Amino acid sequence: MARAGTPSGFGWLSIVRLGLVQASIGAVVMLATSLLNRVMVVEYGMAAAVPAGLVALHYAVQLARPVWGHGSDRGHARTPWIIGGVTVLGFGAMLAVFALPLGEAQPLAANAVLLFGFILIGAGVGAAGTSLLALLAAGVAPQRRAAAAAVTWIMMVMGIVISAGTAGALLEPFSWGRLVEVAGSIALAALVITVLATFRLERGMQAATPEPASETNFGDALRAVFAETAARRFTVFVFLSMLAYSMQDLILEPFAGIVFRMSPAQSTSLSAVQHSGVLLGMIVAGIGGSAFAGRAAGELRGWIAAGCVGSALALAGLAIGAGVGPGWPLAANIAVLGFANGVFAVSAIGAMMSLASSGSGADTGVRMGVWGAAQGIAFGLGGLAGAIGVDLARHAESDGRAFQSIFAIEAVLFMAAAVMAARIARQDAAINFREAEA
């Protein structure tokens, strides 16, 4: 038994091991959604709508996250779901790679294999990611959740950066055979790291604090989650905030090029500035959220609200900058946006872990699956809405006004999410006060 005041559950080494799994997932997702995106359009001359549609498909498949989460709830271990998910993810990515040379000779067969490959990619991400988050939620002490979220997400970003840099270097000069070797190596390395990182990890947690297995069917488990007001509101919050979070993904670099007349190299450097800000925000929220985590997720929701407000203000700044044009401190503005996004993301994931573990303990996977599905829908819609919105607006207005409209909508969504987070935090505080008096 843990001493009073000592956090129980996973230690820091275990959290880092799960971070390695997250990094492995991120590396293979980069391969599928970024590298293959470019290869399809540039090297194989496909319409840009093809990879965009496939990426949207992989998000759509993740609507089934609650099903996979319930599957891991019903079992006595989540590790097989994590390993199985990474295996399916890697297999789907390799199917997509093998479909590429079929395009010219057998386009129907190539498209069918690509569709099936990206369906498997979405299924693998959903199964592995949901089970990993459920394991973190069940195994990490409340005092460590914000820091655990920061560690795992920072490691995911590192996995993406390392795999992208390595793949880029090894693919020069490009050939399909070289792509097969690089993609296969990334997928195999991700699977090996996942197996080693999870080896006997869950067994130690189950020995210390056994996690109950679910005995209810999926429909009953899902209805039970949505019967809770807090769970329903948090689902809406996740959708709103992630919609705002993802809308700028596909438009920041075009914005810098069109309105500020930056070269591709200059706009790419802005992306590095943004991601540096995200990492710093994650670190600050991880340290601050854990240092002041005295009442479960209450303080984390305060950090969420702060991150949402900061993101809204930064987006309002970009809207102003769209009207001002060159001369606006764009790099500083984007750095602030990245920092606020990082604060929001880590604190939201930490609060998600707290709320997921606040139920019976046998429905953690379903809860994580519901919020993961809301996030997947929001990411798919957000990227698509941002890009389409700018295209439509540019036909009727000036470039600056078009981007202003999109950034203003994002700012409003983030403010709505901040209001929801603040209300949920106040309700938590009221509940805690009543429980203390009882």
Domain membership flag for residue 3: no
- Let me know whether 193 and 251 are in one domain: no
Helix 176-198 to helix 79-99 angle (10° resolution) is 180
**Residue where a domain terminates, one of 211, 235, 255:** 211
Q: What pLDDT does residue 173 have?
A: 84
**pLDDT for position 126:** 93
SS3 78: coil
Statement to judge: residues 271 and 393 lie in one domain: yes
Of 417, 291, 271, which Cα lies nearest the Cα of 348?
Answer: 417
Question: Do residues 200 and 298 share a domain?
Answer: no
Residue 6 lies inside a defined structural domain of this protein? no
Residues 153-167: b if buried by 16+ CB within 10 A, e if exposed = bbbbbbbbbebbeeb
Q: pTM here? A: 0.81
CB 372 within 8 A of CB 133: yes
Alpha carbon dihedral 224, 225, 231, 234, in 10-degree steps, equals -150
342 and 433 part of one domain: yes
Structural domain contains residue 7: no
> Same domain, yes or no, for 17 and 96?
yes
Question: What's 337's domain CATH number?
Answer: 1.20.1250.20
Does 174 map to a domain? yes
* Confidence (pLDDT) at 205: 64
Query: Do residues 157 and 26 make contact, with C-beta atoms less than 8 angstroms apart?
Result: yes
DSSP letter (8 states) at residue 227: T
105 inside domain: yes
For residues 197 and 311, membership in a common domain is answered with no
Q: What is the pLDDT of residue 396?
A: 62
Rg (CA), the chain: 22
Task: Please give the Cα distance from 65 to 254 (Å, whole number).
Answer: 32
Give the 3-state secondary structure of residue 202.
Answer: helix
Final residue before a domain boundary, out of 184, 211, 238: 211
pLDDT value at position 37? 80
pLDDT at 255: 84
Tell whether 202 and 292 lie within a shared domain.
no
Do 58 and 200 sit in the same domain of this protein?
A: yes
Predicted confidence at residue 192, as pLDDT, reads 97
177 and 299 both lie in a single domain: no
| DSSP SS3 for 326 | strand
Successive 10-residue mean pLDDT values, the chain, 438 residues: 49 93 93 83 79 86 90 85 96 94 84 95 94 89 82 87 83 88 95 95 66 72 83 88 84 82 75 85 82 51 88 95 90 94 88 74 82 87 77 70 87 92 65 46
**Same-domain check for residues 27 and 124:** yes
**Quick check: is 158 in a domain?**
yes
Number of domains in the chain: 2
178 located within any domain = yes
Q: Verify that 201 and 220 share a domain, yes or no.
A: no
Alpha helices in 171-217, H assignment, sequence order = 176-198, 201-208
Q: Is residue 27 part of a domain?
A: yes
Domain limit, last residue, from 211, 238, 257 = 211
Check whether residue 320 and residue 201 sit in a common domain: no
pLDDT score, position 214: 60
The terminus-to-terminus CA distance of the chain in angstroms comes to 27
pLDDT at position 208: 52
User: Residue 391: which domain range?
Assistant: 214-438
Structure tokens at 123: 């299924």
Give the residue from 419, 78, 38 showing the smallest Cα distance to 264.
38
